[in-house]
Amino acid sequence: MYYLDHGATSFPKPEQVTRAVLRAMEACANPGRGSHPPAELAAEGVFSCRCAAGELFSCLPEQVVFTQNCTQGLNIAIRTLVRPGDRVVISGFEHNAVTRPLHGLGARITVAGRRLFDPADTLRQFRNALNRGAKAAVFTHVSNVFGYVLPVEEMAAECRRRRIPFVIDAAQSAGVLPIDAKALGADFIAMPGHKGLLGPMGTGILICNRLPKPLIMGGTGSESERQEMPDLLPDRAEAGTLNVPGILGLEAGLRRIQEVGPERIKAREQALLSGFASVLRDAGMEVFAGKNQVGALSFRPGCDCQEGAARLAGQGFALRAGLHCAPLAHRSAGTLETGTIRLSVGMDTPEEAVQALGRAVQTSLPPYKY
């Protein structure tokens, strides 16, 4: 099988990730609770993962809060910054993990920048929207549907200049694009542990540049006599037992990325995407590709997208069709009615997958009718 669904989760995981999970299952108890060797071993592993993330994303270890996934991190961040009725600026390529919490809170949402692969337009629209006043901004680094890389450094600078708190959704960029939390100055950066960071599912990271409002409350192994959640990181946002096997697996993933280097990963993934775009165009597909693209690519055949993806699955290609939990992004690109088929690559996607997919699409999918 050619696995081209890394945007959903990276697969298969590196061997060292699996080994780290197993080792944790065999040797670790609850970190930060007991003072016996299995608890201490777990605590060392958790801290080591915080340090690895801190090194990769330029922040202090205590700024690294472990979550179950990127969605949980985004929910913590949004609930910290946004109150009912607040005006919040978002990009036109946000996932439901951003729009649903905002909708649930009763925020007034302004969508800014809906043109695909046009960072200048994205930035202009975003700036205009901020000028009309906002309590917060939330924007994705990379569209999970189209792989469009938004100009986050410039967007961050616009927010900083106006002192508008902001959140970056790094769901598709963490591990692929450099992320410097210190330079970006975001209040929060949320990311999954199981996609580009190569960790197990059920892991995520929220980098906190301010004290978050806890989503859940409970034991932290610290300041137990007080009934308020500790007002310090990471404890404030980490109530309950941590996913130690997941976190130790995530650390192995982070170390693997450090070993290879995000720049090399990015270059390889971009070369693969360019190859995929070319063979898909040759096969008559409508291809959404651009200069500022990484990780994912969407296309439309001349048949229903779900049907098309099912035919390709039958030939050994794992892709994802539909709306990808991002109806806003599809609305922006004009693909809401049909959805798209998305392929998303990882650092170990073999080059031969490009020609193989080209052949499979050529023989099994009708060309797109413009």
Contacts with other proteins, residue ranges (CB under 8 A): 31-32, 35, 43-44, 47, 50-51, 60-62, 220-226, 230, 232-235
Q: Is the dihedral of CA 57, 63, 66, 71 positive or negative?
A: negative
> Do strands 136-140 and 87-91 pair parallel, antiparallel, or not at all (unpaired)?
parallel
Cα–Cα nearest to 324, from 311, 309, 339: 339
For residue 29, how many other CB atoms are within 10 A of its CB? Answer: 15
Tokens coding 112: 């800014």
Tell me which residue has tokens 């971009």: 270
Q: For other proteins, give the closer residue by CB, 36 or 84.
A: 36
- Within 10 angstroms of residue 145's Cβ, the number of other Cβ atoms is 32
Measured from the CB atom, the residue of 45 and 358 that comes closer to other proteins is: 45
Residue 193 CB, nearest approach to other proteins (Å): 18
The backbone torsions φ and ψ at residue 281, rounded to the nearest 5 degrees and listed phi first, read: -65, -45
Q: Which is nearer to other proteins, 153 or 231 (CB)?
A: 231
Shortest spacing between CB 220 and other proteins, in angstroms = 8
Task: Tell the smallest beta-carbon distance from residue 191 to other proteins (Å).
Answer: 19
CB of 187 to other proteins, least distance (A): 18
CA 345 to chain centre: 14
CB 265 within 8 A of CB 257: yes
Calpha distance 32→293 (Å, rounded): 42
The minimum distance between CB 37 and other proteins, in angstroms, equals: 13
C-alpha distance from residue 287 to each of 43, 93, 164, 301, 367 (Å): 47, 17, 36, 9, 11
Q: Least distance in Å: CB of 54 to other proteins?
A: 10
Nearer to other proteins, 39 or 198 (CB): 39
Task: Pick between residue 223 and residue 282 the one whose CB is nearest to other proteins.
Answer: 223
Cβ at position 257, least distance to other proteins in Å: 21
Helix (H) or strand (E) holding 327: helix 327-333
Residue number, 211 or 356, with CB nearest to other proteins: 211
User: What distance in Å separates the CA atoms of residue 289 and residue 292, rounded to the nearest whole number?
Assistant: 9
Judged by CB, which is closer to other proteins: 206, or 319?
Answer: 206
